[in-house]
Structure 1
Amino acid sequence: MPGSTPGLDPEQVRKAATALLKFVGSQREESKELLQDDEVFQLLISLSHTPQSKKSSKPVALPVPHSLYDYDGAEICLLVKDRKGEGHKEAKARVRQAEIGKIAKVVGLSKLRTKYESFEAKRQLCAQYDLFLADDRILPFLPKLLGKSFFKKKKQPIPLDLTRADWGAQVKRACSCTYLFRSPGSCLNIRVARSNFSERQCSENIIAVLQQVTAHIPKKWDNVQAVFLKTADSVALPLYQVLPEAVQKISA
C-alpha cells in the first residue's frame, strides 16, 4: 500500500516538472549540437536522520505508472555467468527464443574482466545502454568489475533469477520499475522520469515513487527533510521541505 506523504503538494510537483521540462527544452534549442539522448529526471530525498543500514548491491524495485525504459530505441545489456550451459552464448539463444527485443547485448563475466577492464571501457559501456540486468548469482562480483561510472549514473544492474523460465516476464517487470539503491548516507537519489515525458507523466511518477519509498525509510515520511527534482545539469527544484526545528519536534 502507498505510504502517507503529508505536506507534499501535487501542484508544487506539477510546477517543478513543468519548469524542468522547459529548462531541458531550452537547453536543446541553445545547444549547437543536438542532444541525442533524453535527459533523466532524478528525485533527491534528503533525510533528517541517517539510516543505520549497510550499503546493498540489491536495489528496491519501485513500480511506476510510466516506464523509463519502454520506448523505441531503449536498449538493455544483460550480464551473465560464464559457466558451461549458462554462458553468454546460451543466454543469447534464450533471449532470441523469448523474443526479448530490448536486450541488445549479452556480456559474460570473463568479458567484463578483459574487454571492459579499463576505466574508459567501463565508462563507454555504461553510456551505451539504458538499463543493465544481471543474473542475481553474480551480483556480488559486479561492483568491482563495473567501477564507479555505473554508481554515479545510477545504472547498477538489476538482478534477475535466470534459473527460472520466465525471462521475458522478468525483463518486462524490470522495465516497469525504477529503483532505490540503498546507501549509508542521508541522501537518496532515484531516477523518476525522462525529458520526453509529459508534465502529467512526470508528476504521476514522482508521486508514485514518493508514496512507495517511505516504506523503505526508517521513521518513514517523518524522516524526510526535503525533496528536490533535477537533471544532471540543472539546479535542484524543491518539491517539499520542512524546517529542521519541525523535524526535531516530530522525531522527539
Structure 2
Amino acid sequence: MVTTRKIIKKHVRSSKVRSAQSTKKVKNHINNNKKLQDEKNKINQTSEALKRTSKSSGKDNVQNKRKIASHAKAISKITESRKRKREDNINNEENLDCIDLNDLSEEHVLQCISVINHLTEEQLKNNNALFDDENQPIFMQVTCIRVPKTPKRCMRILLPHSIVSSSDEVALFVGDLQKGRRKDYEATVEHYADLLRNCNCTKIKTIIPMNQVKTEYDQYELKRKLVGSYDHFLVDGKIAGHLSHLLGKEFYKKRKLPTSIRMHSKDLKHEIDYALRKTAMQIHSCGDTHIVQIGHTSMERKQILENILATCSYLSKNYPGGWANIRSIRIKTSSSLSLPIYTTLKNKCLVKVPIVQPKRPKAYRNVSGELTTIKNVASVTVTPEGDIHIENEKSLP
C-alpha cells in the first residue's frame, strides 16, 4: 500500500509541474503574438502616414529640390572664390618670399657698377669732353616673363638716396596768382621765389607759372626745348591735373613727368627733398622691358647699391605679376652696354598673364547730347577714349 501511495503522489506532482509549464508556455506564446500584432499595426500606421505625407508634400519636395540646387550653386561659388583668394594669398607670399635678397649678389652688383663707371670714364677720354665732371644717369632695365595687360601709367619709387646731382637743373611749375592770358606773370614768379628763399630751398633754379606754359610753350618745338633745358621738374599739386594736358607726350617719352608737391606745406624744404628722392618708372603693355633711373655716375657705389635694392623690393610688391614675372634685371647708362645682375630660367607657362585694371576717376564717363541744334535729329554719345556713337539718326524734312 505504501508503495502505491508514493507512486500516486509522484504522478500527481509531475502532472502539476507539467500543467504549470504548459500554462507558462501558452502565456508566453500569447504575449509574443500580441507583440507581433502591435508591431505590425505600428508598421502599417507609419506606412500609411508616409503615403499621406508623400502625396501632400509632392509640391514641397520640388521646391525643396530647387532650393537645394540653388544653395549648392551658391556654396560652390563661395568655395571657388575662397580657393582663388587662398591661391592669390599663396602667390603673394611666394612673391614676397622669392625676393630673398640673397638672389641678388651684392658683390656682383658692385662689380657691375665699377665697370660702368670705368666705361664712362673711357668714353669721356675718347670723346675729349669739355667737362670731365659731367654726370651720366644710370638706368635699371627690367625684363618681364609675360607682357602685362595694363594701361599706361607712371609708377613712383622712393629711393634712399636722391638721383639729383649738384649740376642738375630743377624747374617748378606753379599756379597763377592772377588768371588770364594777358596778365603779367612776373608777380607770381617773385612771390614763389621769396617763398623758396625763406625756406632755404636752393635746388630749384627756375619757376614757370601756368600762364607762361600756355603762352610761350604752346608749340611742339618749344615743348621739346623745355624738356631738354631742365633735368627734373616739380609741380604744385593743385595744378598737376591741368598741367599734364598742356605738356604733351615729350615729357612722357623722356621720362620727365613733373612730380607733384604741396606748396602750402609747413616744411617746404623737406617736401621738395622728399619729392626729388622719387624716380619714375613707366608701365605699359607695348613690350617686355621697362626702364627706371636709379642713380648717376658721380654717386658712391654703396648708394647706388642701396637704390637698386630698394627698387627691387618695391617691384616685388607693385610690379605687374610681382617678382615671379621678372625675367632679368640689368643696369646700364645711355651709351653703354647693359650688365645683368639677376636672371631666371623659369618656364613661361608657369606664369599667368598679369591684368591691371585702370583707376578711373568719377568724371570718367560717357557724355551724350544732340548732334545739331534741331531737335530729334541725332543723339551722340562720346566715350572717354574718344569713340563716337550716333543714335536715333533721322533724316531732315
TM-score range, shorter chain: 0.7 to 0.9
Q: How far off is 1:127 after superposition?
A: 2.7
Aligned length: 247
Report the alpha carbon displacement of residue 21 of structure 1 after superposing the two structures with TM: 1.0
**Aligned positions of 1:6-45 closer than 5 A:** 6=100, 7-35=103-131, 37-45=134-142
Kindly indicate whether structure 1 or structure 2 has the higher relative contact order, using CA contacts under 8 Å at least 6 residues apart: 1
In the alignment, is the contact (CA less than 8 A) between 2:156 and 2:278 conserved in 1?
no
CA distance in 2, matches of 1:87, 1:52: 43
**Equivalent residue runs for 1:43-122 within 5 Å:** 43-56=140-153, 59-64=155-160, 66-69=161-164, 71-84=165-178, 87-122=188-223
Task: Report what 1:248 is aligned to.
Answer: 349
Q: Is the 8 A contact 2:104 2:341 kept in 1?
A: yes
How far apart are the structure 2 equivalents of 1:170 and 1:248?
45
Q: Distance in 2 between matches of 1:48 and 1:232?
A: 24
Larger radius of gyration: 2
User: Are the counterparts in 1 of residues 157 and 314 from structure 2 also a CA contact under 8 Å?
Assistant: no
Seen in structure 2, the aligned counterparts of structure 1 residues 22 and 152 have a Cα distance that, compared at 3 Å, is farther
Measure the CA separation in 1 of the matches of 2:173 and 2:326. 35
Summarize deviations over 1:154-174 as a string: whole Å, max 9, x none: 211001122433321110111
Question: 8 Å contact 2:265–2:271 — kept in the other structure?
Answer: no
Q: How does 1:138-217 map to 2 (within 5 A)?
A: 138-185=239-286, 186-217=288-319
Structure 2 CA distance, aligned partners of 1:103 and 1:34?
A: 25
Q: 5+ residue gaps in structure 2?
A: 1-95, 180-186, 354-397
- Rounded to whole Å, the distance in 2 between the matches of 1:214 and 1:197 is 25
| Alpha-carbon distance in 2 for matches of 1:129, 1:168 | 20
Higher helix share: 2
| Other structure's SS at 1:137 match | coil
> Given that residues 330 and 340 in structure 2 are in contact (C-alpha distance below 8 angstroms), is that contact kept between their aligned partners in structure 1?
yes
TM-score computed with the length of structure 2 as normaliser:
0.56
1:235 aligned residue:
337
- Give the alignment's TM-score, normalised by structure 1: 0.85
- Give CA-to-partner distance per residue, 1:109-140, whole Å, 9 cap, x none: 22112222334432332233232111123223
Q: Distance in 1 between matches of 2:188 and 2:152?
A: 29
- C-alpha separation between the residues in 2 aligned to 1:223 and 1:182? 14
Distance in 2 separating the partners of 1:16 and 1:79 = 37
Do 1:21 and 1:199's aligned partners in 2 also have CA atoms closer than 8 Å?
Answer: no
Distance in 2 of aligned mates of 1:132 and 1:210: 25
Counterpart of 1:67 in structure 2: which amino acid? S
| Residue of structure 1 aligned with 2:328, choices 205, 223, 226 | 226
Which deviates the most, 139-148 or 197-206?
A: 139-148
> Counterparts of 1:183 and 1:159 in 2: how far apart (Å)?
21
Question: Bigger shift: 174-183 or 103-112?
Answer: 174-183
